[in-house]
Chain A
Amino acid sequence: MEGLYVDWAAVQTVAWTLIKIMALVVPLMLGVAYLTYWERKIIGWMQVRIGPNRVGFQGLLQPIADGLKLLMKEIIIPSGANKSLFILGPILAIAPALAAWAVIPFTDTLVLANINAGLLYVMAITSMGVYGVIIAGWASNSKYAFLGAMRSAAQIVSYEIAMGFALVGVLMAAQSLNLIDIVQGQSGGLHQWYIWPLFPLFIVYLISGVAETNRAPFDVAEGESEIVAGFHVEYSGMAFAVFFLAEYANMILIAALTTLMFLGGWLSPVSFLPDGIVWWLLKTGFVLFLFLWFRATFPRYRYDQIMRLGWKVFIPITIVWIVVVGGMMQTPYGYLFH
């Protein structure tokens, strides 16, 4: 040991990184807040209602009011609950949902951490999200919460495999795990996007993404008609809000990943318009709209149907398509898959 001294360069790096993290998380939280508003508006319109329109102009302040309301509420810890794990649950739900954003690029220069194994990192971190759900369900000491946690955990673990295989196809096409390289592999216009050669994988990834975030029609984890609200039934106030934030942050994350891997990220669809973050936002917004559209359209799946879809339909489709892509790459037509 050379004794204690303050390494100002290191302090500066840490401070600068913290500022960058804030610059990422604050817009993300705002995005989450307004995604809930947008969801209620869109589902309202689809059901020929108006949606929230009381707080602020056209109801624009509704998410702020909701947030304030949840902040004011008491966090009740059930007397039979395992107190430490009960509090750890929401933390473990939100932490991976935010940590995964570290490697998501918005343009080819705007990224918090441009790491080589970005795709693997995202997969590993998002696979941790299930702990929040399991721990919350178990620590609540309530049968509904426990049933919800079990359903959700089994579902997340199942669909993670299909998602992982879909990503294998992408990294075969891009020949890189770096998210910026993956997007740049799709440059050259709309027809170069990986959605075309990897169309089956795109569909599998999109639907698995819906299942992974426990959104309708795969929301059996919180099936209101059967188990009240599932794993977070015992949570109130901000503790509940944290689960809510995690769910929506995960939704935006899946939409962003779909955009990056299949829809060309920040690349412009036509050559005469410049690339930029606005395309990223538009495409992610479109995928998010699909999420909301699904919720307004489809009835909830039965649990055995969910499991069948994941294991017997999606996993075989992805494996077959990976073999097809690998085989085609050995032929003269291999360029179609790059």
Chain B
Amino acid sequence: MTYTTAIFYIFAAILVFAGLRVITARNPVHAALFLVLAFFTAAGLWMLLEAEFLAIVLVLVYVGAVMVLFLFVVMMLDINLDKLREGFWDYLPIAGFVSVLLMIEMALILGSRHFGLDVMATPEPHPADYSNTKELGRLLYTDYVYAFELAAVILLVAIVAAIALTLRRRKDSKYIDPAEQVKVKRNDRLRIVKMQAVKKQSGEEGA
């Protein structure tokens, strides 16, 4: 067993364990954290495939951003687990059917007929100075530039739509534009009034 094979089996075992714990952990926060572990381990596996860009981006995007927001939501929810588990047996037949269907589909596609070792040759290991990032960038911006730009536009539309749906101005908000605040001059707020000095009346002193 070579070093990389050993690493692969260790990572795969951690990944499977983490994946199982995601669906079996009773505490949703624990489940979310196991999902983080699963992502991180998957990134390690991709690293073994010499796909360092995808591996790092998986950590950067999913672990660093998506799962943080996930945890945010999960931590703030007050989830009643017993209520969630109520319909377990009712849903089991249909869920079982769907998962068996998924498994059959995957077996059809990923079976050894198409992805066996005799069909898919082992990829050549790249030299040390090979940059997966550069290769990927070149492909994305040349061969697949239309698909890439299209995906970017769709994402942009989704961002704009999400903001447009949630953006609303509250009438009772006391928000002040900082630019306005900075622009304020003394004379806008303060008026010095010249007054005659008034002689103190002896009767008002106690008031």
B58 and chain A: residue at smallest CB distance? A124
- Residues on A with beta carbons closer than 8 Å to the beta carbon of B132: 116-117
Known: A124-B56, A138-B29, A150-B72. A116 touches B64 (CB 8 A): no
CA distance A7 to B2 in the complex (A): 10
Interfacial residues of chain A within 150-190, with CB under 8 A of chain B in the complex: 150, 153-154, 157, 160, 177
Which of A28-36, A128-136, A281-289 faces chain B?
A128-136
B3 with A10: CB separation less than 8 A? yes
Taking a contact as CB atoms closer than 8 A, the residue among A1, A7, A124 that contacts B64 in the complex is: A124
Cα-based distance from A7 to B33 in the complex (angstroms):
36
Complex Cα spacing A177 to B134, Å: 9
Check A127–B64 contact: CB distance below 8 A: yes
| B residues in contact with A177, CB < 8 Å | 131, 133
Q: Which of A10, A120, A123, A134 contacts B75 (CB 8 A)?
A: A134
Q: Which residues of A contact B (CB under 8 A)?
A: 1-2, 7, 10, 82, 85, 115-117, 120-121, 123-125, 127-128, 130-131, 134-135, 138, 146, 150, 153-154, 157, 160, 177, 304-305, 308
Chain B residues, CB < 8 A from A117: 52-53, 56, 131-133
B50-79 CB contact bits vs A (8 Å, 1 = yes)?
001100110110011100110110010000
Across the A-B interface, give the 8 residue pairs with the lowest CB-CB distance, nearest first.
Answer: A127-B64, A124-B59, A124-B60, A120-B56, A124-B56, A116-B131, A1-B1, A138-B75
Residue of B nearest to A2 (CB): B1
A233 to B68, CA, bound (A): 21
The answer to the question of B35 belonging to the interface, with a C-beta cut-off of 8 Å to chain A, is no
**Which residues from A are CB-within-8-Å of B30?**
85
| Cβ of B50 to closest chain A Cβ, rounded Å | 11
In the bound complex, CA of A251 to CA of B20 (Å): 37
Chain A proximity of B60: nearest CB distance (Å): 4
Q: Decide if B178 touches A127 in the complex (CB within 8 Å).
A: no
Note all chain B residues with C-beta closer than 8 A to A146. 75
Other A-B pairs beyond A131-B68, A146-B75, 6, CB < 8 Å? A85-B30, A116-B131, A116-B133, A127-B64, A127-B65, A130-B64
Q: Does B36 contact A (CB under 8 A)?
A: yes
Q: A10-B3, A131-B68, A150-B72 are in contact. Are A123 and B60 (CB under 8 A)?
A: yes
- Cβ–Cβ < 8 Å partners of B63 in chain A: 124, 127-128
0/1 string, B33-59, CB within 8 A of A gives 1: 100100000000000000011001101
- For chain B, the bracket of interface size reads 20 to 34
Q: What are some 28 contacts across the A-B interface (CB < 8 A)?
A: A10-B3, A85-B29, A116-B52, A116-B129, A116-B131, A117-B52, A117-B56, A117-B131, A117-B132, A120-B57, A120-B60, A121-B56, A124-B60, A124-B64, A125-B59, A127-B64, A127-B65, A128-B63, A130-B64, A130-B68, A131-B33, A134-B71, A150-B72, A154-B72, A157-B65, A160-B65, A177-B131, A177-B133
Is there contact, CB below 8 Å, between A157 and B68?
Answer: yes
A153 touches B72 (CB 8 A): yes
Closest to B1 in A: A1
Question: Closest approach, in angstroms, between the C-beta of B196 and any C-beta of chain A?
Answer: 40
Contacts of A128 in B (CB 8 A): 59, 63-64
Interfacial residues of chain B within 4-50, with CB under 8 A of chain A in the complex: 27, 29-30, 33, 36
B53 and A305 contact, CB distance less than 8 A: no
A127's partner among B29, B59, B72, B131 (CB-CB below 8 A) is: B59
For the complex formed, measure the closest distance between the CB of B164 and the CB atoms of chain A, giving whole angstroms: 16
* Chain B residues with CB below 8 A from A135, complex form: 33
User: Which of A120, A135, A304: most chain B CB closer than 10 A?
Assistant: A120
Can you name the residue of chain A whose Cβ is closest to the Cβ of B55?
A124
Complex: A304 Cα to B174 Cα, angstroms? 12
A127–B3 CB distance below 8 A: no
Chain A residue at minimal CB-CB distance from B74: A138
Most A CB contacts (10 A, CB to CB) among B56, B71, B72, B133 go to B56
